[in-house]
A = this chain, B = another copy of it.
């Protein structure tokens, strides 16, 4: 789960991490009011979108005065950054920066722990630094039961800074940042740039925080910060029904049990020349209601020309799955061709139950997918002819 920079900064405030106060604005008027209210002179305007690379895209600008602020706010609001439309901006005092740094805590798959990552090359895309000058990036793994004692924070701070005054400020910030990570079950807490202002103060000029979805049950105050996009709403709806769903732009609607098998199904559709309309993992049961709900979801996408149902019957036997499908399709009327592939335990019995139905059946995954791709191409033609 991601949150906006301004929300991250609110959390920084709560955990005592020094950042720059600002105001979230949804219009040029609000931005001008904020400018006056905060008593700003030079101001920074930052697009609030849940994606990286804002700076490169022109979503972060400095306004020298009130007039410039109005122009910049107008230009950034409504901007499209990697498909995200900017509906709000953060207006804050521009800081006189002496130097920029990078700092983050992140869950590391390989270290199997949280690691602190820091670099004296801040304010740029850290991935580029990592690729070109890996020696300029420092990683320190954190022992989960030990956390970040004074010495470790001091060590990290002294990797970033030479001036003792900066080290002391950074040491305190690092301990608080780790506290924030643990207290909120974050999976990433990133500050880029972390700056030393010309007056010698350490400031978090950005705040990027991702949270562990699995832990949100115990962080209700964090969970409520989440603002799903319409696309994510659809995925969350699906999740509430026990599905894992991702909308794509193709023509073959997929219904598969298991995430890996669902991905493999998509891969094979492409391999055979078709296009998957979605990723849909319906999980492991043969409950007909689940199939009905899944079909509704698939058929709500008007691009879908064919539905491919790919089920591996393991613990749930194929005959039970077939019966579930039959019950479900008694409730659903559709002209869209449906290809069903059932394999696994009791597969013969399952396929026999489907004999004489309008469904196209197949024994292997390859066969099923070939058929679905073929049908989607034919359907295409029909649609074009109509």
Contacts and interface: CB of A to CB of B under 8 A. Distances in A.
Interface string A232-243: 000000000000
Nearest to A143: B145
A146 interface: yes
A350 B146 CA distance: 52
A146 B145 CA distance: 6
A145 B143 CA distance: 10
A145 B145 CA distance: 5
A143 B145 CA distance: 10
Nearest to A147: B145
Contacts of A146: 145
The interface size bin for chain A is under 10
A182 to B, nearest CB: 14
Nearest to A146: B145
Interface in A143-192: 143, 145-146
A64 to B, nearest CB: 52
Stoichiometry (number of copies): 2
A143 B146 CA distance: 11
Contacts of A145: 143, 145-146
A240 to B, nearest CB: 30
Contacts of A143: 145
Nearest to A145: B145
Interface in A33-67: none
A145 B146 CA distance: 6
A141 to B, nearest CB: 15
A112 B112 CA distance: 29
A318 B123 CA distance: 64
Interface in A93-147: 143, 145-146
A113 to B, nearest CB: 14
A37 to B, nearest CB: 45
A142 to B, nearest CB: 12
A163 B276 CA distance: 58
Interface in A307-348: none
A143 B143 CA distance: 14
A173 B309 CA distance: 55
Interface string A272-295: 000000000000000000000000
Interface string A72-87: 0000000000000000
A146 B144 CA distance: 9
A146 B143 CA distance: 11
A66 to B, nearest CB: 53
A87 B146 CA distance: 46
A146 B146 CA distance: 8
A2 B146 CA distance: 31
3 contacts: A143-B145, A145-B145, A145-B146
Which 3 residue pairs spanning A and B have beta carbons closest together?
A145-B145, A145-B146, A143-B145
